[in-house]
Amino acid sequence: MNNTNKATLIGLLAVLLWSAIVGLIRGVSEHLGPTGGAAMMYSVASVFLLLSVGYTRLKEFPRRYLAWGSLLFVAYELCLALSIGYADNARQAIEVGMVNYLWPALTIVAAILFNRQRANFLIVPGFLLSIAGICRVLGGEQGFDLGGMLANVRDNPLSYGLAFGGALLWAAYCTVTARIAGGKNGVTLFFILVSVTLWIKYLLEGGGRMHFTLEAIAWLVLAAGAMGFGYGAWNVGILHGNVTILAGASYFIPVLSAALSSLMLRTPLSWAFWQGAAMVCGGAVLCWLATRARPAQPGEEPASPGAPVQ
């Protein structure tokens, strides 16, 4: 096996690790609390990132990337972790995680609007299919049921609102940093900032006991490892592997995530949910194809395959 294939396999490992994130975050929050558990998880993940990705000195970052990247990344990770942690039950946590996966379609739409990304007509059915998929997921057992969907959201508007806000934030992060990062990767610094922010929130809320059982520690290590080593593996794949394969595989994370979360949290999902998850994936793929259909002209820079998925 050559080095390119090895790097591609390592990148695909990142896709698998990120697919487990929703279930793992929920497992940590059930044992250590939404805020305290997230703070511990990002702290341990920061250590893993220091070991796998390393740390870049602040003076090496473009100032605009440091400012906007930090703000958007931290805000997104807070929305992701807390939306899942604040869910009323495991089923709702999986639904909330699925709302987060609107970000691939939103990212491509943002790239078209703000980064002058070229696209064809497929962008419209792709975006609409992703939205329809989320509606089907939130409709419960009835599938496309507006009343059931609204009742579902009203049951816990904070979690669903954070998840949707997170999708918008990650789309903004991908769009903005594509222009101002200057080839730098601040993920280690950003994770440290997330953990510090969560610890401040935890202390302002009055703290609270966290019960560290063997099961809780296992969930914590697995979740932090999936986050930290996931980014490390993705970097190897993107730098040295087949970017087209990795980008294509990343758009199937919603279905993989639902499957792994269902197993880890022992929560059966309805046929309507699986149909909705498949629609979210299909919509993201159509949006991606909308930017790929036209061959690059001589001297034209090829389109970006997309940023890492959560």
Q: Which amino acid is at 127?
A: F
Confidence at residue 1, expressed as pLDDT on a 0 to 100 scale:
64
Give 294's DSSP letter: S
232: number of Cβ within 10 Å: 22
Structure confidence at residue 295 as a pLDDT band (50, 70, 90)? very low
Q: Is the pLDDT of residue 208 over 70?
A: yes
Confidence at residue 129, expressed as pLDDT on a 0 to 100 scale:
92
The closest alpha carbon to 26, from 106, 80, 70, belongs to 80
Calculate helix-pair angle for 214-240, 243-250, nearest 10 degrees: 140
Q: What angle is formed at CA 242 by the lines to CA 238 and CA 248, rounded to 5 degrees?
A: 90
| Residue scoring higher pLDDT (292 or 12) | 12
Rounded to an integer, what distance in angstroms lies between the CA atom of residue 173 and that of residue 143?
32
Rounded to an integer, what distance in angstroms lies between the CA atom of residue 243 and that of residue 234?
10
**Helix (H), strand (E), coil (C) string for 5-40:** HHHHHHHHHHHHHHHCHHHHHHHHHHHHCHHHHHHH
Structure confidence at residue 141 as a pLDDT band (50, 70, 90)? low
The model's pTM is 0.86
Q: Is the pLDDT of residue 144 over 50?
A: yes
How many CA atoms, within 13 angstroms, populate the side-chain half-sphere of residue 265?
29
Q: Is the pLDDT of residue 264 over 90?
A: yes
Confidence at residue 184, expressed as pLDDT on a 0 to 100 scale:
79
Confidence at residue 154, expressed as pLDDT on a 0 to 100 scale:
87
Structure confidence at residue 61 as a pLDDT band (50, 70, 90)? confident
| Residue scoring higher pLDDT (174 or 191) | 191
How many CA atoms, within 13 angstroms, populate the side-chain half-sphere of residue 71?
8
Rounded to an integer, what distance in angstroms lies between the CA atom of residue 102 and that of residue 98?
7
Rounded to an integer, what distance in angstroms lies between the CA atom of residue 172 and that of residue 107?
7
Q: What is the pLDDT of residues 13-56, one digit of tens each?
A: 988 998 999 999 999 999 999 999 999 999 999 999 988 777 77
Distances (CA, A) of 65 to 8, 11, 114, 245, 309: 28, 24, 17, 28, 19
DSSP string, 126-167: HHHHHHHHHHHHHTGGGSS-HHHHHHHHHHSHHHHHHHHHHH
Q: Is the pLDDT of residue 304 over 60?
A: no
Sign of CA dihedral 209, 212, 216, 219: positive
Q: Is the pLDDT of residue 248 over 60?
A: yes
Confidence at residue 78, expressed as pLDDT on a 0 to 100 scale:
96
Confidence at residue 301, expressed as pLDDT on a 0 to 100 scale:
33
Confidence at residue 145, expressed as pLDDT on a 0 to 100 scale:
66
Q: What is the pLDDT of residues 68-98, one digit of tens each?
A: 999 999 999 999 999 999 999 999 999 999 8
Average pLDDT, the chain: 85
**Helix (H), strand (E), coil (C) string for 256-271:** HHHHHHHHHCCCCCCH
Give 89's DSSP letter: S
Which tokens go with 190? 């950003």
